[in-house]
Amino acid sequence: MSGSIQDTFFEECEELLEAMDEGLTAVEGGDHDPEIVNAVFRAVHSIKGGAGAFGLDELVGFAHKFETVFDEVRSNKVQLDTKLIQLLLRCSDHLADLVAVARDGGSTDEEHHDTLIAGLEEYLDEEEEELTFEPMGLGGPAAPPPLAIESEKNYTIRFQPLKEMFGTGNEPFFLFQALSELGDLKVVLDESELPGFDSMDMAESYLAWDLELTSSEPQSRVEAVFEFVEGLCELSIASDKDDEEEAAALEALNAAFGADAGPLGSGLPEVTPPAAAPAEAPETDTSGPFEAPAPAEEVKVAEAEPVEQAEAASPEAAKKEQRGPKPTLRVELERVDRLINAVGELIINHSMLAQQIANLNAGDMRDVETELEGFKNLARDIQEGVMAIRAQPVKPLFQRMARIVREASSATEKQAKLINEGENTEVDKTVIERLSDPLTHILRNAVDHGLEKPEDREAAGKSRVGEIRLSASHRSGSVCIEIKDDGAGINRPKVKQIAIEKGLIPENAELTDSEIDNLLFLPGFSTAKEVSNLSGRGVGMDVVKNAVTGLGGRISITSTPGKGSTFTIILPLTLAVMDGMVVSVGGQTMVVPITSIVETMRGSDDMINSLGADGTLLSIRGNFVPICDVAGALGLMKPDDQPPGVYLLVETETGQRSALAVDDIHDQRQVVIKSLDGVCGNIPGVAAATILGDGKIAMILDPESIISAGGTAGFDTERRMSNAIAS
Amino acid sequence: MKTKVLAIDDSRTIRNLLAATLEEAGFEYHCAVDGREGVDMYAGVAPDVVITDINMPNLDGFGVIEELRGTDINSKVPILVLTTESAPEMKARARDAGATGWITKPFDDQSLIFALKRVTGAVA
């Protein structure tokens, strides 16, 4: 039972940490709206509360300090300056670490922990520091342990409620019932103060009770019954036995109550009646009426009419009311995925049905076709709806990146600030999950290699603080993620030299700027002379590229010396369905993603220009574009001497255009992507497979890798590079 | 008749813990995720006792107590405050608003049940 609740706790922690990060980032950005500060406070507070329930002491301790500082901010006792914001940001990172440690085991850097605690304590009064998390009242587990006194005692209890008690929902009868569970109880009602019926005031309290309790329980247990009504009644508890042990327990109890006004035990003094008490300023009295029956508090209770107060306060409270968040539903991911699969099958089923009907030759089929079209549209609606369930804003991912940049800049002694844009752009959940590592790596690189040291930046006339812009946007059926830094840009001569040294390109290679920039993505490339502890973790940009292409995406880089570099990642909106163009290549049916096709055209001989032995160019409106023979690139047999009839003009992320030569175009339709992973591994040029309407399997092509795999000899850098490696 | 508890807490963890503890002890459990929802649910649930957190969005615990005890709802049922806060002035504020009692988080099952019995007379 508690296991699953603990899971809930960690799940909730993730959400709370996100909310906290979001709030802190807003605060860092200069938004000191009290509601944001409140939200952060509540997030930390909830983490503390939950952690306490599971005895996660380290987490509780840290969260408490963190929260207390935030409380000071909230009540304007502490000013939010840059230093404090930086501290709070580091603390939020550490809190996330502590949560992770509590969940997954391991340990955190103790020194770091202590530094942060010390940092937080600078903002706390000494008085606040003493406020530990130990519960003070009897309600908590730290209530004085029952003493091992087995002997029976006779308690004499006098209980007389003040009228205020009745406004708090406390009911004498239930108290007696609780008492009777401790032992043998005799209750005698004292109604001697009850006035005549005519002069009775309904709001007044006239009754008192004399109770005789025989119990082996210690006095602390008896007192605990009256915990909630302390200060709301006149109470005396006396017992016929008193031993040292009990006196000690009493002392502990008094300490817990913070009551130095007098012992609560056998000699409990009669509380001064309200009317007779001098009207001391109740505000200055910090002793709690729930715990210590201090006379001054009595006065406060008596003077302030609870009901009126409630009335006065409620309109204000109503004003504070805000519209709640939109109602949400939490669903297991697996259920959604099942639905997505079913929708995929539905789409396949639709195309099969369409094909069957087309094969019928049954005269006028217009009605059927209309309905079929409706079916198709509905299927698409359902598919988009289901995809929307899986879609999530990139915000949490982007927020985590702020931390990466913070850590990277402190490790490299650089100053960097991350600006997030388009955080609400929604992307498939899996894409978001698998994007985390590549983004982390690119950002570390941006700080480590992209941004200059503060001195150098100043010398170059830039602000000391480097700026990294992380943005997400939708771009024609794809998601575009850009990481742009304002650093020094790529040092092209150096990159080229390294590539030559490592044998990645021939010494005499003539490369365009963009080709040089994209050398960074080659396996085994690393510009750092010495492996820095930050980005040089044996992971190169090639891994980033693989991760992105694994998601069906593309990555490219552009750079301007002195101005900075921009990484652009283009990802498909979903990983399950896409729009494809069905073509035939070398006698086989294949699918090319629509998103990569710029234009299609039928070729004629006069458009084709030979270039050397194995190169051909397609002339389009005065421009020449290299032709890539898809069948050749895939190693398929070409029908003899039949020139490819159709060209698909595609554009790679680096802006290179190529014309993919295919035999024919059949159709444009939505296809369900079936991964080939685990079936036949990675085939160059093939991204995945799909099932067509006739039940046949068709490969989904990856134009970019087809272009690099061959076909456009003499025009492609990577081909030359791979040749160089091979030789 | 089971004793009906309305718990108001913005932490899912705490709600789940309360649900487990209270249902096991034989209470009928209802919950709300913030103060506003708690107050709105009050009439429909008609609980025998309310347990509320203090730090919550959309109406905090003090607001909850004030509204429940206010003339519109005029609730007479016990209201227990369940919170990590333990500052005396907070307790004073809650009591002035009409809270019945104060339980400090983290709570243990026994003291919670004990407190509930004391204020409702529930035989769980």
Phi-psi region of A586 (alpha: psi -120 to 50; beta: other; left: phi over 0): left
Model pLDDT, residue A132: 40
Across the interface, whether the CB atoms of A140 and B111 are under 8 A apart is answered yes
Residue type, A602: R
The pLDDT confidence band at residue A641, using thresholds 50, 70 and 90, is low
Question: What are the structure tokens assigned to A649, written together?
Answer: 């003009």
Cα Rg of chain A (Å, integer): 37
Most confident of A65-69, A321-325, A532-536: A65-69
Find, among A139, A524, A529, A31, the residue nearest to B84 by Cα. A139
Residue A711, pLDDT > 50, answer no
Average pLDDT over every residue of A623-634: 83
Contacts 24+ apart (CB under 8 A), A539-547: A539/A441, A541/A441, A541/A442, A541/A445, A543/A438, A543/A441, A544/A437, A544/A438, A544/A441, A544/A442, A545/A521, A547/A434, A547/A435, A547/A437, A547/A438
What domains are there in chain B, each with its CATH number? 4-119 (3.40.50.2300)
Least-confidence region, from A81-90, A282-291, A662-671: A282-291
What is d(CA B63, CA A588) in angstroms, rounded to the nearest whole number? 71
Backbone angles phi, psi at A667, to 5 degrees: -165, 160
The DSSP symbol for A457 reads: H
Residue A307, pLDDT > 80, answer no
Average pLDDT over every residue of B53-81: 85
> pLDDT digits over A580-614, tens only?
899 988 888 999 988 778 888 887 777 777 776 66
Find, among A482, A421, A494, the residue nearest to A446 by Cα. A482
More confident residue, A324 or A396: A396
Helix or strand or coil: residue B7?
strand
Model pLDDT, residue A183: 81
Domain A577-726 classification at class level: mainly beta
Average pLDDT over every residue of A475-503: 84
What distance in Å separates residue A341's CA from the closest CA in chain B? 31
Helix (H) / strand (E) containing A238: strand A233-239
Model pLDDT, residue B43: 84
More confident residue, A326 or A50: A50
> pLDDT digits over A443-465, tens only?
988 888 888 888 888 888 888 88
Q: Choose the closest CB to B66 out of A131, A258, A310.
A: A310
What is the ipTM score, two decimals? Answer: 0.77
Instruction: Check if the beta carbon of residue B46 is closer than 8 Å to that of residue B81.
Output: no
Protein fold of A394-572: Heat Shock Protein 90 (3.30.565)
What is d(CA B60, CA A321) in angstroms, rounded to the nearest whole number? 10
Model pLDDT, residue A471: 93
Residue A356, pLDDT > 80, answer yes
Residue A302, pLDDT > 50, answer no
More confident residue, A152 or A614: A152
Best to test chain A binding among B81, B86, B110 (most A CBs inside 10 Å):
B86
Across the interface, whether the CB atoms of B107 and A140 are under 8 A apart is answered yes
Q: Choose the closest CB to A174 out of B14, B99, B120.
A: B120
Model pLDDT, residue A337: 81
CA A348 to chain centre: 35
Helix or strand or coil: residue A391?
strand
Instruction: Check if the beta carbon of residue B122 is closer than 8 Å to that of residue B27.
Output: yes
Average pLDDT over every residue of A35-47: 84
The pLDDT confidence band at residue A508, using thresholds 50, 70 and 90, is confident
Helix or strand or coil: residue A480?
strand
Model pLDDT, residue A178: 79
What is d(CA A592, CA A600) in angstroms, rounded to the nearest whole number? 12
Sheet with B28-32: strands ordered across: B28-32, B4-8, B49-52, B79-83, B101-104
Query: What's the mean per-residue pLDDT of chain A?
Result: 74
> pLDDT digits over A175-223, tens only?
887 788 778 888 888 877 777 777 777 777 778 888 888 888 777 778 7
Chain B contacts of A287, Cβ < 8 Å? Answer: 88
* Chain B touched by A681 (CB under 8 Å): no
What is d(CA A214, CA A192) in angstroms, rounded to the nearest whole number? 25
Distances (CA, A) of A422 to A32, A402, A438, A557, A690: 22, 15, 18, 20, 32
Average pLDDT over every residue of B76-86: 83
Helix or strand or coil: residue A649?
strand
CA B31 to chain centre: 9
Model pLDDT, residue A309: 44
Model pLDDT, residue A575: 66
Chain B CA closest to residue A303: B96
Model pLDDT, residue A469: 93
What distance in Å separates residue B62's CA from the closest CA in chain A? 9
Contacts of A337 by beta carbon, 8 Å cutoff, 6+ apart: none
Model pLDDT, residue A481: 92
Going from N- to C-terminal start, the domains of chain A cover 2-130, 153-310, 336-391, 394-572, 577-726
> pLDDT digits over A100-126, tens only?
888 887 777 778 888 888 888 887 765
> pLDDT digits over A404-444, tens only?
888 888 888 888 888 989 888 888 888 888 888 889 888 98
The pLDDT confidence band at residue A468, using thresholds 50, 70 and 90, is very high
Model pLDDT, residue A562: 87
Residue A260, pLDDT > 60, answer no
Residue A171, pLDDT > 70, answer yes
The pLDDT confidence band at residue A681, using thresholds 50, 70 and 90, is low
The pLDDT confidence band at residue A140, using thresholds 50, 70 and 90, is very low
Across the interface, whether the CB atoms of B100 and A2 are under 8 A apart is answered no
Average pLDDT over every residue of A669-674: 79
Distances (CA, A) of A156 to A144, A186, A245, A266, B53: 22, 10, 20, 9, 36
Across the interface, whether the CB atoms of A310 and B97 are under 8 A apart is answered yes
Question: What are the structure tokens assigned to B93, written together?
Answer: 């504020």
Phi-psi region of B74 (alpha: psi -120 to 50; beta: other; left: phi over 0): left
Distances (CA, A) of B25 to A38, A314, A338, A650, B20: 35, 34, 38, 68, 9
Residue A558, pLDDT > 80, answer yes
How many contacts, defined by CB atoms under 8 Å, are there between A and B? 206
Question: What are the structure tokens assigned to A246, written together?
Answer: 């009990």
Protein fold of A2-130: Four Helix Bundle (Hemerythrin (Met), subunit A) (1.20.120)
Contacts of A689 by beta carbon, 8 Å cutoff, 6+ apart: A673, A674, A675, A676, A697, A698, A699, A700
Q: Where are the beta strands (DSSP E) in A515-638?
A: 554-560, 564-572, 577-585, 588-593, 597-602, 608-611, 615-620, 623-629
The pLDDT confidence band at residue B107, using thresholds 50, 70 and 90, is confident
Question: What are the structure tokens assigned to A22, written together?
Answer: 């979001």
What's the longest Cα–Cα distance across chain B? 37
Question: What are the structure tokens assigned to A328, written together?
Answer: 């949400």
The pLDDT confidence band at residue A294, using thresholds 50, 70 and 90, is very low
